[in-house]
Amino acid sequence: MSISIDAKSCIIDGRRSLLLSGAIHYPRSTPAMWPGLMQEARAGGLNCVETYVFWNQHERERGKYDFSGRLDLRHFCECAASEGLKVFLRPGPYICAEQDYGGFPAWLRDAPGVRLRTKNEAYYDEVRKWFDILFAYLLPLFDRAGGPIIAVQVENEYANIGPAYGGEGGAYMTWLRDLIAGYETGAPLTACNPVGSAEMMLAAPKLERAVPTLNAGFAHPFVRTFKRWASGHPCLWTEAWMAWYQVWGLPRPFRPAANMAWCAARFFAEGGKGINYFPWHGGTNFGRTGMYLQAANYDFDAALDEFGCRTRKFELLSSLNHALRAHEDTLVECDLPEARRAGDGLEARVFSHGGKSVVFLCNDNPPPDGARAMEWGGRNYSLPAQSVLMLADGREIWRGADSDAPDPVARVFVPASSFGKSDWLVADEPPPDVTGDWLAIGQPSEQLAFTKNKSDYAWYKCELSVNSVATQKGTLVFEGINDFFQVFVDGARAAVSRTHLPEDRGAWDSADYRQSFEMELAPGHHELTLLVCSLGLIKGDWQAGRSNMAEERKGFWGRVVWLPVATASSGAVVRFGEWSIHAGLAGERAAGEEPPGRLVCWRPLSSDDAGRPLRWFRVEFQAPDGDAPVALDLDGLGKGLAWVNGECVGRYWLIRSVAPGDIHTEHNQVMVFEPPGGPCQRYYHVPRDWLRAGKNTLLLFEETGGNPSGVKLACWRKKTGG
């Protein structure tokens, strides 16, 4: 067994090979799904799978490591090896990945003096401790020991923040590379950066003694520039974005399968030597593992959908992968192909070796009217818009698809079971006044210091005094508050914060953390209470005004101000007393136990419960027959968390989606979106292996006031008929 990378290609087990990899992230599926996912990866023509390592999930509490269940990374790698697949490991420690805190454990924020992703001894100490554990755990699985792991990436997309940290950032990357090399795995090290243009690539710093790679929506225009910029290395595309992730408030993004296949084929036509489809299977952000604003689904419009089922992308890309593998001996021996231009957006790329040839006929004209005919070798070939046709020794071996071709594997959600009103139990989330464990803090203070990220929720309260003889009209302004919250006056909900939030926000003192509400306040003393909800921790500095990630904060840390209207009674004074905080929810503390929600008092559901916030709902059900993937249809609910048999399905939020704005400049892939106006995400994956043969229990915390009468189970089935 051996692995090396030279100027031409990867050399795996002594043989030059194209790297045909797909991302499958182990915590986003379940161990019962892994064998099937690996079988589908092999059937799709892949020879490798890629995964990040999720530090935030393995070490939720400092010094307590979890490699069980969905975190059994060793078993995941063994499943890959059983199908003859190699593993490309991306251990971070920063991974981005749309993960909570970019894959860092939340407790790292509280290490004294820590600054993340730069030269900092407190940070170095914690990374070293974690990597000592991780690499000792994985060492038997590296190629040198006969295992499947063939390459290790250092950090992730450091060019996104590197310029801000200058020399100290460069020193950090060198330190991290040397730390990983010191584990003597024998695997080549790589380092990736996002590329949206040749200028971006040329401006990115290179990490010495690591193979540079690129991440992009399309990469073929950059191959020849890459070969000049990174001479001595093959061009490897470590993130070939299948589409994009979905955030709360925006519609689901898609990328046409034909466009993805064209971009992948064009990359190899230009001389690319390895691709990692990102992702091959996206999966689900179970529990509270998604980053700030990330939806529970991580489908990413991948080759295998969220449930592990084949899509049209699978059909197109698997046929391409098999064609590439069948002729890789010719492709890997040519550093760059012979380029021939036929004009009018038509290109030919010719690879020749040992008397054999592979030709890519490329039509780069976009739809809808980009179809062209191209002459080659005395024959005319019809090429759909933005497509590639491959010839081997004059014989057609692969053809791209028409972008308007129908989807042969379309699926739909089919209702499997619903619940009657009498099936449901309901309970109120008791306010902290009932449990009696408020903590006096004087001035508002961000919540992570108290919740330790073990809950999304924190309560805040203070006394509000209105010194006047008449009701006051004005605006209640909160400065320094994050992310979503509800305002209660004397126990009654008085306001709800805005729902559609920007993914990238400004500095902590900016207007992005300021919200105001018009209201009336009666004379006298009142209790002002807030329930603040984190929507996940940021994944990078850019989501908080380029502040270092160690400065991440949630909850309420600023001040509250009353702005009276101009006609308010002169001399009226509104004062705010000292603040107290309470971390988490009472029912949440036992949500994963049996019976769930034991800290709340259950009663039969009544018509009065619909539309009221802060309610727990519970129902028992039988698993649907058969083996079709199962989802919760949460139609009619608002926002909250869901559990099945003690397993947290994830955060849910059915806010209506709005039209998307601009995406980052390096995100150059073609994308289309679902029509806005529908619920952002209605269906939530429940893995079959979480369900029992007999009684199952669904538990919901409904935060904003939804009605469970529309909740049902659905199965994900192939579409039939017209």
Q: Residues 537-549: what's their mean pLDDT? A: 97
| Residue 104 CB contacts under 8 Å (≥ 6 apart), including other chains | 55, 56, 93, 94, 116, 549
**664 has a pLDDT exceeding 70:** no
* Cβ neighbours of 160 (radius 10 Å): 18
271-303 pLDDT tens trace: 999 999 999 999 999 999 999 999 999 999 999
**Helix (H), strand (E), coil (C) string for 640-695:** EEEEECCEEEEEEECCECCCCCCCCCCCCCCCEECCCCCECCCEEEECHHHCCCCE
pLDDT confidence tier of residue 609, bands split at 50, 70 and 90: confident
Pairing type for strands 274-281 and 19-24 reads parallel
54-63 pLDDT tens trace: 999 999 999 9
Contact by Cβ (8 Å): 529, 581: no
136-165 pLDDT tens trace: 999 999 999 999 999 999 999 999 999 999
Q: Is the dihedral of CA 445, 448, 450, 456 positive or negative?
A: positive
pLDDT value for 199: 87
183-231 pLDDT tens trace: 999 999 999 998 888 888 888 889 999 999 999 999 999 999 999 999 9
- Strand arrangement of the beta sheet that strand 411-418 belongs to: 411-418, 712-718, 630-633, 683-686
**475 has a pLDDT exceeding 60:** yes
pLDDT value for 402: 83
Is domain 3-333 classified as CATH 3.20.20.80? yes
Contact by Cβ (8 Å): 683, 413: yes
Averaged pLDDT score across all residues of the chain: 94
**571 has a pLDDT exceeding 70:** no
Q: Is 632 exposed, middle or buried (0-12, 13-18, 19+ CB in 10 A)?
A: buried
Whether 411-428+590-718 and 432-584 share one fold: the answer is yes
Which contiguous run of DSSP H or E holds residue 583? strand 579-583
**365 has a pLDDT exceeding 90:** yes
521-538 pLDDT tens trace: 999 999 999 999 999 999
**668 has a pLDDT exceeding 70:** no
Q: Which of 165, 148, 163 is nearest to 75 (CA)?
A: 148
86-139 pLDDT tens trace: 999 999 999 999 999 999 999 999 999 999 999 999 999 999 999 999 999 999
**595 has a pLDDT exceeding 80:** no
Least confident stretch, 313-327, 520-534, 668-682: 668-682
Which member of 239, 306, 588, 702 is catalytic?
239
pLDDT value for 588: 85
User: Token pair 């009065």 is at which residue?
Assistant: 608
235-256 pLDDT tens trace: 999 999 999 999 999 999 999 9
User: Token pair 């790679």 is at which residue?
Assistant: 213
For the chain, give the number of residues.
722
**Secondary structure (3-state) at 551:** helix
Which contiguous run of DSSP H or E holds residue 699? strand 695-702
**503 has a pLDDT exceeding 60:** yes
**239 given a catalytic annotation:** yes
Q: What are phi and psi of 608, to 5 degrees?
A: -70, -15
Cα separation of 333 and 351, whole Å?
9
CATH level 3 topology of 432-584: Jelly Rolls (2.60.120)
| Residue 248 CB contacts under 8 Å (≥ 6 apart), including other chains | 293, 294, 295, 499, 501, 535, 653, 655, 680, 681
Locate the domains of the chain by residue range: 3-333, 411-428+590-718, 432-584
pLDDT value for 665: 43
pLDDT confidence tier of residue 321, bands split at 50, 70 and 90: very high
Least confident stretch, 35-39, 174-178, 426-430, 710-714: 426-430
pLDDT value for 567: 59
**61 given a catalytic annotation:** no
**17 has a pLDDT exceeding 80:** yes
For domain 411-428+590-718, give the CATH superfamily. Galactose-binding domain-like (2.60.120.260)
Cα separation of 172 and 122, whole Å?
12
Which member of 50, 126, 157, 702 is catalytic?
157
